[in-house]
Amino acid sequence: MGRLAGKWCLVTGSSRGIGRQIAIGLAREGANVIVHSRSKEHTRGTLSALEKYEVRTDSVEGELSDLAAVERLTRRVLEVHGGVDILYNNAAIQGDRKEIWDTGIDEWKAVIQVNLFSMVLLSTAFARGMKARGYGRIVNLTSGIRDTPQLSPYSVSKAAVNKFTQDLACELRGTGVLVNHLDPGWLKTDMAGPGAELEVETVLPGALVPALLDNGGPTGTGFRAQDYRERS
């Protein structure tokens, strides 16, 4: 049996890329996985990839740019599963590259809604149940991006992710719920493009480290998936 046998996990944006790799890694550890995408139709590839691990799976849909859709997604998971044990807030958008003074407020709002506000809603909704049960892991994906003002909304949203992670971790300290952020590295995904440094598969096994922590482990801190790539 895997180290996460019987745990229910939700991975946002897990129809492809980093999210799919995290879902596969969790399934390898015996976890049951809820796959998320904008449309359930897009989750089929990941669900198919999980079949060989003989874990339970489910899929949910929800456009994270829409607050009502995030609330519907959350409500469905709570009604069907009673919550989750592990939450990976992976889904994010980058926005278009442009000079910082040419980036309009609507573009800022769009990126921050998906990358920050939806993460806050999902984290706080599921953290309550985790706290009541005395166990939970929330992993918020961040970025090591720096010195790239052409993507300022994205980088600022990820800085806010880190600060929210610290605040939520402080609130939940001593409850058995650990909240950390994870930098997956510069990987060849649809967002980063083929010019990125590493293949997306190298996000494992490092991406699982925050989920595998024992109670009393570090919380409110950051992990870099690529620091662990030689340990697979």
| pLDDT confidence band for 189 (50 / 70 / 90) | low
Residue whose token pair is 């992976």: 90
Active site residues: 154
Taking 60 as the threshold, does the pLDDT of residue 16 lie above it? yes
Q: What is the pLDDT of residue 232?
A: 39
Name the class of domain 8-231: alpha beta
CA distance 15 to 23: 9
Please state which of the ranges 5-9, 27-31, 131-135, 151-155 shows the lowest mean pLDDT.
Answer: 151-155
Mean pLDDT (whole number) for 117-125 = 98
CA distance 232 to 223: 16
Each domain of the chain, given as residue ranges in start order, spans 8-231
Taking 80 as the threshold, does the pLDDT of residue 187 lie above it? no
Q: Report pTM.
A: 0.94
Taking 70 as the threshold, does the pLDDT of residue 193 lie above it? no
Q: What is the pLDDT of residue 191?
A: 56
Q: What is the pLDDT of residue 151?
A: 80
135-168 pLDDT tens trace: 999 999 999 888 888 989 899 999 999 999 999 9
Taking 80 as the threshold, does the pLDDT of residue 196 lie above it? no
50-70 pLDDT tens trace: 999 999 999 999 999 999 999
Q: What is the mean pLDDT of the chain?
A: 93
Q: What percent of the chain has pLDDT over 70?
A: 94
Amino acid residing at 164: F
Q: Please, are residues 121 and 113 in contact by the beta-carbon 8 Å criterion?
A: no
Helices 67-81 and 118-133 pack at an angle, to 10 degrees, of 20
